[in-house]
Structure 1
Amino acid sequence: MRAVLVEPNPLIADALGRQLGMGKIRYDRQDWAGLEELLRDQGADGLGYDAIVLGSVDDPARCVAALRAHQVGAAILCLLDRRCVATTVELLHAGADDVLVKPVVSAEVRARIEVARRRSRGLLSNAVRVGQLTVFLDGRDPEVAGERLRLSQREHAILGVLAAHHRRVVSKEHIYDEVYGLSGADPLDKVIDVYICKLRKKIAEATGGARYIETVYGRGYKFEAPPEHEEAVPAAATATAARRFPAIPFAASGLHPGCLVAAE
């Protein structure tokens, strides 16, 4: 996980940096002007950060609003010197994902960032069900048809990254960053391949030979259920849902078009 820390006070920045490091979050230090310059030069997609941690900046709500105006999708975590309900509400309305009061603890910072990222991916819980597999993102081993699938710590971490990006291609570099907290250097290039191979073998043994992890050559890996394990919704269940939740004409719904969000 990568973050950018915006904190002008060097002593506070060092203390916050230690907490981020203890939470296995790689971070860069930037002042607000430097972050704005990065946004102008590289755009939101070019930043490459999972989270932005805003400390004692001038007018933090304006900073948050500016980040969202630039289409920054990273989790924004704001840190306050003391509890203030009005400021917290203002920051959340501006687009912040969460607000904490300093001093902060590494485990809580990482957990809150992970929750924000999970929401941004459309994951509403710590469990991701894919075919016969249920992958837990809170440290528990996955289950296959209710039976525990025992994995090593690294195997579990890698499967968690893939499950969080279900049906999307995940690069090796991203997996390195999430699991090891460092960039994909050449000497480690085969490490992920080895763990992927072990995961495939264990999942295949537990699911009767099914292949859940595909290699997308030149890009990375994709985790999804094979066609024979995809669960189809029974026609009767669909009909029942239609009776319970009949379609409502949009004009009669009372909703503004801006309230609709398309699921990815």
Structure 2
Amino acid sequence: MRREFAYRGVIANKENRRDTRASPPPPSLPMLRRTVWHEVRHHRQRYAWDCGLACVQMVLPEQHARQLETNFHSICQDEGIAKSTWTIDLCYILRRFALPHAFYTLTLGAHTGYKQAAFYSSIFASDEDRVNRRFAEAEALGLRVRRSSLTLAGVLARLRRGPAIALIDSSRVACPVCKRNRLSVELRKCLPIPLPAPAYLGHFIVLCGYDLRSRAIYYRNPARHDHYCVMSLETFEESRRAFGTDEDIIFIENSKVTS
């Protein structure tokens, strides 16, 4: 039995206790391949702010990942990165290693609505010029940046070509494999009166595949140890569309697909 299928049924068994059997594919996703899987090496982030860079290491060829690891601080200095990374920064590093990719986002620049958000307040002023300049220069440098809101079907269809780096609100995610955030998220679902959404906590993860039969999406989390995490498609949609993410997602191309 292959590694990814060790997690099949986790979502069905732990998030949908009324029926422990794997569910049929969602009716809104009838034309998609039922299962997609990419083997992705795990890299753990060094600091609280470099989850995106760890995700880049995961999707790079092994030789280039080692170069990024060895020259981490000098590359950050060259790229103008201090102690925060935006999705466009990750695209520039992927370009540095000539890895084909496509970046989808709602905002072509630093979203000014985030200035007062707690997560961004300490970094926005220092990062705004760099982020806006990088967006402005992206096309001339050959980077594929698209202003677009993708449907869930659109995200899953593109995952056939390779893994993806996604920006999510990690405060909304509970992985039943590693139990991260599980208690707080499940408790909120049980309360009869909806509570305000928790404070946004931006985090990059690497999407490795999905299984429509169990409504699961598999991913690597740079903040955790070396194992594959899993969440439901519904949780993924909520977390990737949360205010603060701009629905940012980078699709990596030319990767072997295992199903």
Q: What is the TM-score of this pair, normalised by structure 2?
A: 0.23
Q: Which structure shows the bigger proportion of residues in helix conformation?
A: 1
Bigger relative CO (Cα 8 Å, ≥ 6 apart): 2
**Structure whose CA Rg is larger:** 1
